[in-house]
Copies of this chain bind each other. A is one copy, B any other.
Amino acid sequence: MGIVLGPHQYGKAETRVVRIYRDGPEHQIRDLNVSTSLRGDFDDAHLRGDQAHVLPTDSQKNTVYAYAMEHGGGALEAYALALARHFADDIGPVQAARVDVDEYQWERITAAGTPHPHAFVRAGQEIRTASAVVEGKGSEQHAWVVSGLRDLVLLKSTGSEFAGFLRDRYTTLAETHDRVLATSLTARWRYLRPDADWDRVYSDARRHLVERFASVHSLALQQSLWEMGQAVLAGSPEIAEVRLSAPNKHHFLVDLTPFGLENPGEVFHADDRPYGLIQCSVQRADAPPAGSVWESPTAFA
């Protein structure tokens, strides 16, 4: 009847692995949430229920743990790449492997003025992310790395305008030359090559995003994002493209005049929904192709 199997993939999502480095008295910690996804010659699993080509997701989970022991010593990008390369290289039916990692960050507790060797407190709600995609085997193999962050909550209490916009019959919004601008930023940057000083680039990119958000006098969130993306690319030649997704978390000035009060930009209602959603990519004109690295399994359907 002309019905065929289309794109398909499978993996193990959200393996929560915590790696403690206890090489000396001062421990280090990496706290990760790892998802794997494999594409390849898995048609028979769908069409005939034949698992001969299917590496169980349970084995993928085991691999995540074992690699945390053996290859966990560096940045999450290196760990994600090692895992993706392993699946592409060592599992016959796999044609492409993708590994997505979230990292929850910790800072050392200072007790009695001294950094404690093995006690930590979670640092911020912001999550560092990395994705590695490896396609093909041997000399035909290509790899892509995207790093980023999400849930980075930023706010400017002034220095933000919104005026001169297009009006249609449904437009009632007043122009403003002084508003609160707030967002919960998702940023992801794609590397030119799957090789970089990952932690340093992360640190630089994050700093450029935050500092540029602060320093731009914003005529629109669109403009802020462009400036922030530009700063990331200007600061890190390793990066080919940065994608930004920024909800406009509306803060509405509360009308206090019924109570005989002025409100000179001091009391706001922080609204939940709806919210604006502003998204853009900033890229080098000569950026190489992205392959499938932007296609997260969470958005397959």
Contact = CB atoms under 8 A, between A and B. Distances in A.
Interface in A218-237: 218-220, 222-223, 225-226, 229-230, 233-234
B9 A284 contact: no
B279 A301 contact: yes
Interface in A232-256: 233-234, 241, 243-245, 247-248, 251, 254, 256
A266 interface: yes
A213 to B, nearest CB: 7
Q: Shortest 10 CB-CB distances between A and B: which pairs?
A: A49-B219, A6-B281, A299-B299, A119-B214, A243-B301, A122-B153, A8-B280, A125-B125, A51-B165, A46-B226
Contacts of A19: 266-268
Given A3-B230, A29-B157, A270-B17, A172 B58 contact: yes
A279 B63 contact: no
Given A124-B122, A157-B22, A267 B69 contact: yes
Contacts of A157: 20, 22, 27, 29, 118-120
Interface stretch (A74-82, A104-112, A133-141, A197-205): A104-112
Nearest to A270: B16
Contacts of A234: 1, 3
Given A18-B268, A109-B210, A222 B13 contact: no
Interface string A169-199: 1111100000010000011100000000000
Contacts of A158: 22, 27, 118
Interface in A265-295: 265-286, 294-295
28 contacts: A1-B233, A3-B283, A3-B285, A4-B282, A4-B283, A8-B280, A11-B276, A15-B269, A18-B251, A18-B268, A20-B265, A22-B157, A35-B274, A50-B219, A53-B166, A57-B277, A58-B172, A59-B170, A65-B269, A91-B166, A92-B166, A121-B152, A122-B125, A122-B152, A125-B125, A172-B258, A281-B301, A296-B299
A2 interface: yes
Q: What's the interface size class on A, roughly?
A: 35 or more
A125 B127 CA distance: 11
A298 B294 CA distance: 12
A171 B62 contact: yes
Instruction: Tell me if A's interface is mostly helix, strand, loop or mixed.
Output: mixed
A228 B153 CA distance: 31
A112 B45 CA distance: 26
A106 B27 CA distance: 29
Interface string A42-68: 100111111111111111111101101
Given A9-B279, A254-B65, A277-B11, A300 B163 contact: no
